[in-house]
Amino acid sequence: MNERTTGIVMKQIEYRENDALLTVLTKEYGKLSLVVKGIKKMTSKNAVSCMPYCISEFVLDYQDDKSMFTIKNGSLIESNRKIQEDLVKMGVAQVLTELIDKSIPQGYLDEETNENFYELLALSLKRLNDENENGLLLSLFIAQVLSYLGIPPIVDECVLCGNTKVNYISVEEGGFICSECKNEVGSSSGKQMDLKRFRLANKAQLEHYDVLKQYGPWTIEDCETLIEFLKVHSGIELETWQFLKKIVEG
């Protein structure tokens, strides 16, 4: 049965001689593996619609009992082409898509979860394409995914005693801690940093992006603790994060 669905191309890898395998995020079906045939041929009509980070409408042979589907036709909706033209933007996009890919399993989850992850990625890629506040965007994105996974950092009070006078972030303990608790637990990851910006990133939504600009400049370094938090509390390690850091650090 041919079905139409709109999806975000998160990844494209070689598959057989002239084909490619796509990882695509959709609202209707969640994360899908799609085969696009003949994409390497000069005559391919689907090459443009299957580029990473673009949003396209796909016609596919969807069946509930299958895990991989063949694209019959693809129509480009949004190219996000500026991402492909900027190495740093591309590095950020790789982090965004790898994080989504590793955060959710293949296939349909539930309507709210599918929509939440889809909208977050679609809006983030659009912001990334149109603007240059990469550190802010990535901070908000990682924090939102942590929230969706049910492991957001505690940023309203000391995670151990409830004291609202906090001085550090402890990745191991799960959020802000006060000086007394840091001394008691001997947390090796207690960090003094811009607690206000860290709290804002974890309390805000992507829709507050323009408001949060005034608390910058935001940099990729602002994401470091969030990346560490993700690794410790979810077990997710992002290979693309190291690549992005190398690009930024020159």
Q: pLDDT-derived band of residue 250, with 50, 70 and 90 as boundaries?
A: confident
10-22 pLDDT, tens digit per residue, is 999 988 888 899 9
Q: pLDDT-derived band of residue 74, with 50, 70 and 90 as boundaries?
A: very high
CA distance 224 to 221: 5
116-145 pLDDT, tens digit per residue, is 999 999 999 999 999 999 999 999 999 999
Q: What angle do CA 27, 30, 36 make, to 5 degrees?
A: 100
Question: Is the confidence at residue 210, as pLDDT, over 80?
Answer: yes
Q: Is 191 helix (H, G, I), strand (E, B) or coil?
A: strand
Q: pLDDT-derived band of residue 195, with 50, 70 and 90 as boundaries?
A: confident
